[in-house]
Amino acid sequence: MERSYIEKACASVEEGLKAVRHDIEEAAVKSGRDPGEVTLMAVTKTVEPVYINYAISKGVRLIGENKVQEFLGKKDELDLSRCKAHLIGHLQTNKVGKIVGNVDMIESVDSVKLAGEIGRQSVTKGIVTDILVEVNVGNDENKFGITVGNAPEIIDEISRIGGVRIRGLMTVPPFLEDAVETRKLFCRMRQLFIDIDSKKIDNVYMDILSMGMSGDFREAVAEGSTLVRVGSAIFGQRNYR
């Protein structure tokens, strides 16, 4: 009996999900954490709606997309009544109007200017947009995000903007061969997360630390991540990015 291509691909999504959930749980338990503290986001960029909806049917409750146009193009086909969606990719100021109100959170806020525009558009629509501030923890010139050093000041400035609410931090570390080095970066992020939280800034809630992708989510969980963004380990390799 030959199974169709879609059925086979779905079976592989289910296996990927199972393996990722298992590894999150194992990494959490090993480091003395409650696995329930870690949310799994399925990163669905380049993935067709049929597979995204399959993942949702298998319990995925959060997806991440990194391009505004791509997400808006497939949004209506997705079963978003039981699944939240975050924007995780770089956002240009001129696309803010299109995305505000269409996602549950924007994780990739990397400047006061961008936060200001998200706030302005949110106020116009009568909503408050939850955001994460993206930190370039590895000082990688190919990555977006503010520096660890500038974070306290920038977060303080953003906290005063109406229409946005800071919910935590996000990072994409550079790829490092040595997992021990990656862990150090995640550890630095967690320290920053705790530091900012201890300042008790009005309108700043440090409840989400978004870090860890297919290649490094185990290290991220060990270092305190509360949200891992996993794409290829669930859906297979992408053709781009």
- For 156, other C-beta atoms within 10 Å of its C-beta total 15
Site string for ligand PLP, 164-193 (x = CB under 6 A): --------x---------------------
Three-class secondary structure of residue 99 per DSSP? helix
**Using rule CB under 6 A, residue 220 touches ligand PLP:** no
With CB under 6 A as the contact rule, the residue among 88, 131, 196, 220 that binds ligand PLP is: 88
Three-class secondary structure of residue 87 per DSSP? strand
Residue pair 137/112 in contact (Cβ under 8 Å)? The answer is no
Site string for ligand PLP, 199-218 (x = CB under 6 A): --------------xxx---
Q: How far is Cα of residue 75 from the mean position of the Cα atoms in its chain?
A: 17
Could you give phi then psi for residue 111, rounded to 5 degrees? -160, 160
Q: In the complex, what is the shortest distance from the CB of residue 117 to ligand PLP, in angstroms, rounded to a whole number? A: 20
The Cβ-side half-sphere exposure at 88, using a 13 Å CA radius, reads 25
**Closest residue to ligand PLP in the complex (CB):** 231
Q: In the complex, what is the shortest distance from the CB of residue 214 to ligand PLP, in angstroms, rounded to a whole number? A: 3
Nearer to ligand PLP, 47 or 158 (CB): 47
